[in-house]
Every structure is written in C-alpha cells, then in structure tokens.
A and B are shown apart, each in its own frame.
Chain A
Amino acid sequence: MDLITLEIQWQRLISIMDEVDNATVRTSFSTIVGESRDFACILVDEAGSSLCQSNFSPPNFCVVLPRTSKVLLEKFPLHTLAEGDVLCTNDPWIGTGHLPDYVVLTPVFWQGKPVAFMGTVAHLTDVGGHRGDIEAYDVFTEGIRIPPSKLYLAGQENPLLFDVIGSNCRVPDMVLGDLRAIVGTHSLGARRLVEFLNDYGLDDIVALSDEIHTRSERLMRERIAALPDGVFEFGLDIDGYIETVHLQARVEIRGSDIYVDYTGTSPQTRLGAINCVYNTTYASTLYPFKCALVPRIPNNEGLFRPVHVTAPKGCILNCDGTHPVQARAKVTNNINQVLFGAVWPILGEHAQAGSGSIWPFSFSGQADGYGVFSAHMLPHGGRGAMAELDGLPPIAFPHNSAVTAIEVMETRAPLLFLCKEFLPDSAGAGYRRGGVSQTIRVRNIGQAPMNARLRPDKMFCEPPGLNGGKPGKVGEVRWNGSVLTRFPPLEFKPGDELEMRMPGGAGFGAVAERPRALVERDLALGYISAEGAAADYGYTP
C-alpha cells in the first residue's frame, strides 16, 4: 500500500471514531459518560485487533478491547454473526477489570459479511451489588456480571438481557439509556465505515489493518532498540487498603523488546476491592512506554506487540476470578510510577515523578426536586514533575477524564460544596516541583440521608519523587472533622460535611537546585507558605 493512501485512509478511520465519540457524549445519560468522558470508542478489525480510537479516548481501554474482542469472537464466531447483532460483556476478567465497564461490540457488515467492529468501553453508572465501593469480599457482591452475550439480535433488543440488566441496577433508565445510546452511535459509525469502504472500493480492511500494525510495531521496535539494553528494578509501597501493598517491577530492555515482570508484588487481597485482572495490568504497563517512546502515533495494537508483561497468578496484579476488583484503579494508577521509578535513568526528559491520583466520589439517593439521583465527580491530586517541567495542578493522570462542574453536581443532588481550592504546601519539592493539589469540601443540604461513596488514595504512601525530588504530600479525608481511613458506603446525613485533601505531585531532581526565583514565585502565588518554603526548600527571605 502506498504511503499517501495509507495516511489518508488512516486519518479517515480516526475521524469516523471521533464522530462516534462525539455522538456518545451528546446522546449519553450519565454524568460519568457525558461529563467525565469515562469511555472509549475503538475500531477493531475482523480479527479482533484494535486499529484506531477516537482522539479523546482513555488510553487503557484501547489496549484491552482487542483482548475482550477475541474472547467475544471465540464465543460468537465471526461467521455466525448477523447484521444488527451487538455483543457485550462486563466480565472484569474478559473486559477492563471491573463490572461498571461495559464492552459493547457491533460487527460492521459490508457486502454481506462482517469486516470490522465498532467497539465502545463505557463506565456505566450502576451495576447493582452492594452500595459500597472498596470493601467487598468477592466480585459477586459487587454487582451483576454479564458474560459474553448478545445485547441485540439482528437489530432487535435482546429483551431478556435488557430486563436482567435493568432489574439489577438502581437507575435503569440511565444505564439502559446509555447502552441504547452507545448502540446508536455504533450504527452511525457502521454507516461511516461502509461509506469509506465504498469510496475506496475496498472489500475489507485486512490490508489496511496489516499495514498500520506492521508500521507501528516497526517504529516501536526502533524506539526500544535505541534504549540501552539492561535490567531495571524498582519496588514501591502503595496505600492498598487496610494493608499496604508492595509493587515490584523488573523491566528488561533486550534488543527491540521490553519484558516487564511483577514477581515480588503483594498477593491478591480480600481486604479491599483493589485487585487487578491481568488485562488492566497489561494496559497500565503499556501506557508509560507509549507516552515516552511514541506519543504522537495514534494508538493501535501494533505498538503493543513488543511489550511483554508477566505477573504471577494470584498476585494483586493478576488476581483470580473471584476476588473483588471494583476499586482496582487504586493499584493500576500506581503502575506508571513503579515503571518510571525503574527506567527513569534511560528515559531522560520523558520520565514523570509520582502523581496525586484520582479521588472519585459519588452521591446517590432520592430527594424532592431532584428525584432519584446519582452524581459522580472525578477530581485529582497534583501531577508529578518531570526533568524540566513543574508538575501540573490537579489534572487527570494516567487516565483522562473531566471533572464534573460543581454547579452540575448541585443541580443533580442536594449538595452544597464549600470549597474547591488549592492546598498549599502539598507538592513535593525538587529542582522541578510537583503539582499543587486541592481540597474539596461538601455538605448534605437535603432533608434525608444519601449514600456517599469515595475512594481516596495516597493517604499513607507518598507519590514517589525521582532523581532526588521529594515525594508529594499524602492526602486526608475528614468526615465532620474526624479523619477517615476506611471507606465502606457512608450514610451522608443532612448537615454532614466531607472534606477531601488530595495528595500533591512529587518533585524531580534535587531540592537545592531549584532556582530561588521559582521558590519566590511559588510563595507569591500561594502554592507554598512561608513555613513550607522554609521546611521544604530551606528558604529564608
């Protein structure tokens, strides 16, 4: 295939997925899809390999979806699919590691046979189960698990499956509305793909897919080969839940391959729903390498091939099929930090110190004037510094999502937020300082209790610094003034107040090397206090 045609056709495929993405935002019902953008739209070829994703899709979903597709296609082989069939599952071990993420896969028919799939992974609002988040003994308490199934049969809703899903969640209109919206966006994407095939007179996308994968893999291998061969190890203690968890990574660069092994990592646990299925460990491992080595190449499966990931069965990064997984992000969000901790010396300016994590929380209940409500917010701590860049103030990392507007939260639920503001002195010091974090305080102003779920992180183990940079400061949750350390579902009563002080990003490089002028600027901006400047930087006016 010539290089000009390849470029044109590839861009066109990405633009099709952007259109699907856009329609998803505009037709969705939940804040988590519509406002937080916790979903991805991915084009998958007939073999189940991911070909491209919309520009705003979270990176991990694209890595996992092909693995899911291949399982779905084992159960529903390509030749048995009919036009208008839609496949789905939310099985954590087949999909992306926890029940709320539904994978929806729609075959696209052309000239009478399936030639590709529209794929969406979306975090839906509710899957039933207990009202908690992080405290669960097993996955069965966490909600309904839909094994690989047909959501639609030849264009018709599968009434039994819709009933089952709807009957097993608290906000069926929202969940089923989102599922229907996703299927609607797939028929739009399918029409666009058929137009594309027709315009170029193609019978299928096999050659195009092969070309994209081969070229991407070749470049990824060149970039890896340019790194020095060697073995790099790093161990990192993270919060876990109730008990600290240890992550241990051994990264071997050998020729044009990267081998990552997590032997030495803590075993799976029943203390908290923080176990990771292999799929998410795999995806989270790829992400920092993608960012550091090939940030500008559109994500596709070819880039993943040279990276090999192993984690012992039964460890927290490769848990078995019964363990609770709902809050796995508490572990997966730290994987980039353990990997940067190992390989930063060979990544130069592309390594990033530890970040303050995502602190998701949600409120649900029923109230006059609001009806049955469920409102989510996904705020963040500060971001880690890099060799030549101060860490950014609260921003999503390593995933990507948008924070729900305070005003939207307050119109959806009887809440009053008291502040959403920077937390001075939270950032780790260094030649480049970490990102400043934030404090959010919220009160129930309704007449009735509501259910609150929150999942803080890095309240005990600090985000690690690199190259001598200091760690970010740990976070803290206060419930009517008292510090909370456990997070079963909380009954948030009228007048109750919750305060979340999020962790700061970690620093990069020796503190002594930070220019005095930058310390003074941070003082003037209020990112650090006079006491903080003295304690963290030894600064005296």
Chain B
Amino acid sequence: MKQKSTARYRFGFDIGGTFTDFVLIDGESGKIHSYKTLTTPHEPAKAVMEGWHKLLADVAGDGSDVEIAIHGTTLITNALIERKGAVTILVTTSGFSDVLDTQREMRYDIYDLHAPQVHHLVPRPLRFEVTERLDGFGAVVQPFDASGLQQMSDTLTAAGVLAEIEAVAVSFLHSYANPSHEEQAKAWLTERMPHVALSLSSEVAPQIREYERMSTTVCNAYVQPLTERYLRQLQGELSDGGFQKKLYLMLSSGGITTLERASSFPVRLIESGPAAGVLAAIFYGEMTGQANLVSFDMGGTTAKMCVIRNGQPAMSDNFEVARVHRFKRGSGLPVRVPTIELIEIGAGGGSIAHLGELGLLKVGPESSGADPGPACYGLGGTAPTVTDADLLLGYLNPDYFLGGRMQLDRAAAEASMVPLAQRLGIDTTATAHGIFQVVNENMISATRVHVAERGVDPRGLHLMAFGGAGPVHAHAIARALKMAGYICPAGAGVTSALGFLTAPTAFEFARTFMAKVTSNALLQMDAIFAELEAEGRQTLLEAGVPAADITFARRADLRHVGQGHEIVIDLPYATLAGVDVDQELRPLFYRHYAEIYGYAHQHLGLEVATCRLTASGPRPKVTVQQSERQTDAAETAGKGQRLVYFAELGGFVSTPVYDRYRLPPGATFAGPAIVEERDSTAVVGPHSSVRVDAFANLIVTLQE
C-alpha cells in the first residue's frame, strides 16, 4: 500500500528553448527519475503536463505524492529578446524620461561605425514625467505632485489607448534612498488604473545609477503581465493534474520563491535556467567532495562558466539581457538584480570555423544551430563546426551520437574542412585540431579572466563539465588553466531541473546606502538590515518556511574612501552595533581587497555603498542513491579501441573506449581514454587518472 500521508517526491522542471526537462526525486530512496520532451512554445503547460504524468506513472504515484514543484523558464528572457511583452509606460522625474534612450552614452564597439543603437522597451510617446524631486541623500526638494499622472491619464484617454496599457514602470531619481514619492505614485495609479501591473524602481532595484535602475524597472514591468498569466495557468494545470501544493520558481540568484513574489518581480527570474545549472554543479561538487569549482556548460551554441568558491557561486548585480550583439558587453538592456554570475561566450558544438580578415582561424560566435547543424549531421550543413572537428579527431563516435539515435557523417565533416585547410595550407586533421584549439582558447581566456576577477587561484579548482560538448573539451580547458582536475557528473543531461531541487527557498535584497563607515553609520546599516530582514521574513513566511528555520546573511558593498567601485564583503555579524570599525571591519575589508587586487590602501578609511541581505529557508536534503557494487575493474566496460588525436602524444593514438553505463563504481583507469554516454563523450587526455565514484561520476585528476 502506498502511504498518502507523507508526500515523498520533489518535482523540478525547466522549460528551455528546445527541450523541457524534468526531474523527480524520491525523498525516501534518493532515486532520481528524469525525463526530457520537446518544448511546446505556444502552450508550454502541455509539455509540462506530459512530463508530470510520465514521471508520476514511472513511480506509480499520483499528484498528492508530490511535496513541492519547482520551475524555471526561459519564457521571460525570450519575451524580452523577442520584444513580446506588455504595452508598458514609464513614469519618471520631470526632465529625465529620455535617460532611457541616452543611457550611458557609451559605444559598445569603438571601431564599428554601423553598430546599431540599443533601443529600450518603452517608446518615447509612452514615457511620462511628473513633478517631484529628491536630493542625493533622499531629502525632499520638491514634493510629489500627482497632477502629472492625471495629465498622463488624460493624454492616454484622449488618444484612446488607456485601456491598452498593461504595465507601468515608475522610476524617480534617488528613490533608492527614499521610496516615498514612488509609493505616492503607486497609490494614485492603483486607485485610478487598477488594471495595470505596477513596478516601482525602489522595490525592483533600489540601487544608485538612474539608467540601470530605470532599465531594470522597465524590463520588470514589461514582462509582469505575461508572467503572472502564465504562472497562474501553470499552477491551475498542475492542480488539475492532482498537485495539491504550491508552485515555486527558481530565481537568477539561485534561490526559490513563491508564485506571487515571482509575478511581482519577474525580472529576477531571467537567468533561472543557467542559475539552476550552477546549483546542480554545486550539488555534484558536494557529492564528490569538491567545494571549489568552475561549472562549465557547453552546448550547441554557447558555453557558460561560473566560479564556485566554498560551495557558493559568484554573484553579480550587473546583468544584461537582449543584447543587440549577443556577445558584446554593453549592447543589451541592463538588469540590476542579484544574479549568479555566469559568463557566456559564443562557443559550442555548432560554432562555425572561418578565416578572419587576417587569414587567421576563427571559431564562432556564429553557430550552425540545430538546423542545418554541423556538416556531419548530414542535414545540409556545409560549414565546418566544432562538432565536425571533434568527430575528425576521434573524440566522437559516429555510430553512437545521442546514443546512436543520430548517425554522424565523417566524410561530410572531412569535406567541410577542405576549403579552410587549403587556405591555411595544412591538412584537414591539422585544421580540425586548429578548430579544437581555437574554440578552447576562447573559453580558456574568458574563464581565466572570470576566475581572476574573483581572486581565485585556478590550481585549487575542479571543472564541472556539463552539456553535450562540455566533457569533450573539459580536459583541454582544465589542463590549460592548470586546474586540479575535472568532473563529468552522472546524468548531466537534465542538470538545470535537478538544480531546482537542491535550492533553498531564498530571496536576496539590496539597498543603496552611501556613507563613510563610522560607528554611527553601522547603526544606520543595522536599521536598514532590520528592515530588509523584516521584508525577508515576511516573504519566507508567505512561502511556508517556518519562522525558526529562517536564516539571514548580511553583506555590504564596501570600498576605500573616494573610490568608484566596491567589492562585496560578507559581514559575519548578526548586528553591527559594537563592531570596531578600525580593529575589525577595516582589516576584514583590506584582507579581501588585497586577495583580489594584490594590495589595499590601508591608510584610507571605508565607504559603504550597498547593503545586501539574503533570507533563506533550510537547504533541502537530497540524498542520492549510492551503488553498493564496488570494483576497480574498468575492463568490463571496454568497447575496444579507436584512434584519437592527442597533440601531447604527437597525433592519433590507439585509445581505449569505455561505456559509461557499464563502468562500475570504484573503477580506475588512466588517460588517454574515451568514455561514451548517450548525451556526451568524455575525452580524457594523457597524464591523468580517472576514478568512477559511488554515484557514477567520473573524477579526473590531472598530473603535473
């Protein structure tokens, strides 16, 4: 008999552009069930319900057995990229509504005269100004005057478009320091325009710098109506499917939140999928005893990397969405909300190799996509791609791509290389290896800069390799960055969905507070933290976290007096009153600063710019089933040998090939080796040793 009293399953699902991924974890046995189906873009819930019923059938359960459902989606990002959000108006301080167009007045490409303008989401005729003004300390210079809103309403009415307005963003100067004027605007709008979704900059992103805050608020308003509609529908469908609890959402920061909160702040969900991938990397890191990692997810068009220290991902407030030039910093719409900081570059299996103007080999960022895809797919693509190179170098098995579901055409891959090879004056193998090296270098450079910005020594890190192409390229990248080794986790195909289930309920708050750090300022910070904690507690209580299980972590953005940029410092104090600025806080800051930048200006005092608080519920305990079978015999998983290219060994060498699914826990073997699984292939280079752990993860240690 099934026990109905305790819901035992946790259900996670990630709606990506192509696939919707599902994971169901059995809380009792720790067994992970997963499923993947094609996304149904016009009716996303359809694919969701298919996965829901499929996995419940697999475990012979029903909806009431599911304790929690957690969701992440690219829907919001796509709405921003495709500009399919709500008809939104922007209300600003008088004289400043054009800031949405003038932005930072900086070019994102200094030599391309044709680089197009970055258009924002609210056209000029839908931007309105009101009389109100605060100074740099938040003091009222000119009181809020609602007549501007009345005029706006009259104008929209006269134009006959009032009813079409779905969302309003309000962004006043210095509202991060004093939200009262925005709140007055909200009161007026709530009463007179009750049908619109409302976003206040003091709630969405209470941080200094008017363009960035305005941009974030506009992005939020723009996706608010569709997010709310979508989430309500999804919750409804799941209820119809027997689910009796609440739906939760993954945030870009890696926390999870309620449907209500997500509907109010959808801009915080933009990077939920990639964030969940990082959480999964952290989860696998714990499983394998590695808390210091770089998560590395290489798919068809991009590679994403994130530094993880002591089990904590790198975080940032600076994120851009919907870039005009996908990989050009500065060409997107800034979004200042807490986000797990990933770097994304145009390097994937489908990245196309070509010769640049100087005749040098370039790879990406253009990608062949899924259709026609790499030449070796045989779907009509003729451009040489990374996947074609990987095939020619013997890294991929033409008969076992996607577990044999797709036959790769070696001759087509070879043919795609010929024009490049001729122009480079080398053979096709050397060309393929060149592509492999160049795409690796793109990823290595980007990762190196990212790791260095965090002040981390790569020698103590492991690379956690995901995605179809991740394990193929992990060895070369970990080696070049002098990392200790790398890990290819078991069942990496549905990592994001798995990541949802390992996250605590958590919400991050940030508020600008500019002051010299004195004992008096610490008291003011305590007051701000107390407000943020109250907000956090309320949010988590609404999400059903018991009061006793709520924890807070305080951080602050600090800098030397007079400096322009800050670093984020963890404040290990429950209260700041009584903390000695000179004896405790300054040394703490100088130590962190010097760790990143080599030295600190110890004669200078400190300034604070932002107070940050994370309110979290308990981290769910996910226990994964361990295999009891332990052996060191890898031979039983052997699939024979094939010729594989390793530059360190002078070219093609006969290399053992293993079947991932038949590798027993405890097995050890030395590189070079190939390990094949359905969704990827691990290419283990020479001078390394591989161990299969009790959870079937491959752990590769690089020798000096």
Chain A residues in the interface with B (C-beta under 8 A): 2-4, 6-8, 10-12, 14-15, 18-19, 22-23, 25-31, 33-35, 37, 56-59, 173-174, 177, 180, 184-185, 187-188, 192, 199, 215-216, 219, 290-292, 294-297, 299, 349-350, 352, 369, 378-380, 386, 389, 392-397, 400-403, 405-408, 410-412, 416-422, 438, 441, 445, 524-526
Known: A177-B562, A215-B358. A295 touches B452 (CB 8 A): no
Q: Are B446 and A4 in contact (CB under 8 A)?
A: no
**B98 contact set on A, CB distance < 8 A:** 420-422, 438
Extra 9 A-B pairs, beta carbons < 8 Å, given A57-B110, A299-B111, A400-B110 = A8-B438, A29-B563, A33-B564, A291-B113, A394-B105, A407-B174, A410-B135, A421-B97, A525-B125
**B437 contact set on A, CB distance < 8 A:** 4, 8
**A441 contact set on B, CB distance < 8 A:** 95
B597 within 8 A of A: yes
Query: Contact mask B598-629 → A, CB, 8 Å, 1/0?
Result: 11010010000000000000000000000000
Question: What's the Cα separation between A393 and B125 when bound, in Å?
Answer: 16
Q: Are A27 and B124 in contact (CB under 8 A)?
A: no
Closest A residue to B328 using CB positions: A55
Q: Are B133 and A416 in contact (CB under 8 A)?
A: yes
Closest B residue to A59 using CB positions: B110
Q: Are B125 and A12 in contact (CB under 8 A)?
A: no
Q: Are B564 and A421 in contact (CB under 8 A)?
A: no
**B357 contact set on A, CB distance < 8 A:** 219, 294, 296-297
B161 within 8 A of A: no
A41 CB to nearest chain B CB (Å): 13
22 A–B contacts, CB within 8 A, in A order: A4-B424, A8-B437, A27-B597, A29-B563, A58-B110, A180-B599, A192-B452, A199-B480, A219-B357, A219-B358, A297-B358, A392-B117, A400-B110, A405-B209, A406-B99, A407-B136, A410-B136, A410-B174, A412-B136, A421-B95, A445-B135, A526-B124
Q: Are A184 and B599 in contact (CB under 8 A)?
A: yes
Q: Are B113 and A37 in contact (CB under 8 A)?
A: no
Question: What's the Cα separation between A419 and B597 when bound, in Å?
Answer: 38
> Which residues 564-618 of B have a CB within 8 angstroms of A?
564-565, 567, 597-599, 601, 604
Question: What's the Cα separation between A525 and B98 when bound, in Å?
Answer: 11
B636 within 8 A of A: no
The contact of B564 among A8, A14, A28, A295, by CB within 8 Å, is: A28
B83 within 8 A of A: no
B631 within 8 A of A: no
Closest A residue to B593 using CB positions: A27
Tell which of B285-293, B300-308, B359-367 binds the partner.
B359-367
> Which residues 393-435 of B have a CB within 8 angstroms of A?
424, 426, 430, 433-434
Residue from A27, A28, A294, A416 whose CB has the most chain B CB atoms within 10 Å: A27
The contact of B445 among A12, A185, A291, A418, by CB within 8 Å, is: A12
**A291 contact set on B, CB distance < 8 A:** 111-113
Q: Are A395 and B565 in contact (CB under 8 A)?
A: no
The contact of B113 among A11, A174, A386, by CB within 8 Å, is: A386
> Which residues 135-161 of B have a CB within 8 angstroms of A?
135-137, 141
Known: A18-B449, A173-B604, A407-B174. A4 touches B361 (CB 8 A): yes
B57 within 8 A of A: no
Chain B residues in the interface with A (C-beta under 8 A): 94-99, 101-102, 104-107, 109-114, 117, 123-125, 133, 135-137, 141, 173-174, 208-212, 356-362, 424, 426, 430, 433-434, 437-438, 441-442, 444-446, 448-449, 452-453, 480, 514, 560-565, 567, 597-599, 601, 604
The contact of A22 among B110, B449, B599, by CB within 8 Å, is: B449
**B448 contact set on A, CB distance < 8 A:** 15, 19
The contact of B94 among A177, A401, A419, by CB within 8 Å, is: A419
A213 CB to nearest chain B CB (Å): 11
Question: What's the Cα separation between A173 and B96 when bound, in Å?
Answer: 33
Q: Are B563 and A15 in contact (CB under 8 A)?
A: no
A439 CB to nearest chain B CB (Å): 9
A23 CB to nearest chain B CB (Å): 6
Known: A28-B565, A400-B106. A411 touches B97 (CB 8 A): no
**A15 contact set on B, CB distance < 8 A:** 445-446, 448-449
Closest A residue to B448 using CB positions: A15
Residue from A7, A184, A219, A352 whose CB has the most chain B CB atoms within 10 Å: A7
Closest A residue to B598 using CB positions: A184
Known: A187-B598, A291-B113. A7 touches B105 (CB 8 A): no
**B125 contact set on A, CB distance < 8 A:** 524-526
Q: Are B438 and A28 in contact (CB under 8 A)?
A: no
Q: Are B102 and A173 in contact (CB under 8 A)?
A: no
The contact of A59 among B99, B104, B111, B452, by CB within 8 Å, is: B111
Closest B residue to A32 using CB positions: B564
The contact of B438 among A4, A25, A408, by CB within 8 Å, is: A4
Q: Are B438 and A403 in contact (CB under 8 A)?
A: no
Q: Are B449 and A177 in contact (CB under 8 A)?
A: no
The contact of A177 among B424, B445, B453, B560, by CB within 8 Å, is: B560
Question: What's the Cα separation between A12 and B448 when bound, in Å?
Answer: 10
Q: Are B96 and A406 in contact (CB under 8 A)?
A: yes
In order of increasing CB-CB distance, the 7 nearest A-B pairs are A34-B564, A419-B95, A15-B445, A4-B434, A410-B136, A295-B111, A411-B136
Q: Are A396 and B514 in contact (CB under 8 A)?
A: no
B282 CB to nearest chain A CB (Å): 25
Question: What's the Cα separation between A405 and B565 when bound, in Å?
Answer: 13
Question: What's the Cα separation between A248 and B151 when bound, in Å?
Answer: 53
Question: What's the Cα separation between A216 and B362 when bound, in Å?
Answer: 16
The contact of B361 among A7, A30, A34, by CB within 8 Å, is: A7
Q: Are A525 and B563 in contact (CB under 8 A)?
A: no
Q: Are B107 and A180 in contact (CB under 8 A)?
A: no
A298 CB to nearest chain B CB (Å): 9
A251 CB to nearest chain B CB (Å): 18
Q: Are A403 and B560 in contact (CB under 8 A)?
A: no
Known: A33-B564, A350-B113. A407 touches B209 (CB 8 A): yes
Q: Are B106 and A403 in contact (CB under 8 A)?
A: yes
Q: Are B95 and A405 in contact (CB under 8 A)?
A: no
The contact of B107 among A177, A386, A396, A422, by CB within 8 Å, is: A396
Q: Are B599 and A11 in contact (CB under 8 A)?
A: no
Known: A28-B565, A393-B101. A296 touches B174 (CB 8 A): no
Q: Are B95 and A418 in contact (CB under 8 A)?
A: yes
Q: Are A408 and B209 in contact (CB under 8 A)?
A: yes
Question: What's the Cα separation between A405 and B97 when bound, in Å?
Answer: 14
Q: Are A37 and B102 in contact (CB under 8 A)?
A: no
**B426 contact set on A, CB distance < 8 A:** 2
The contact of A386 among B94, B114, B124, B359, by CB within 8 Å, is: B114
Q: Are A22 and B453 in contact (CB under 8 A)?
A: yes
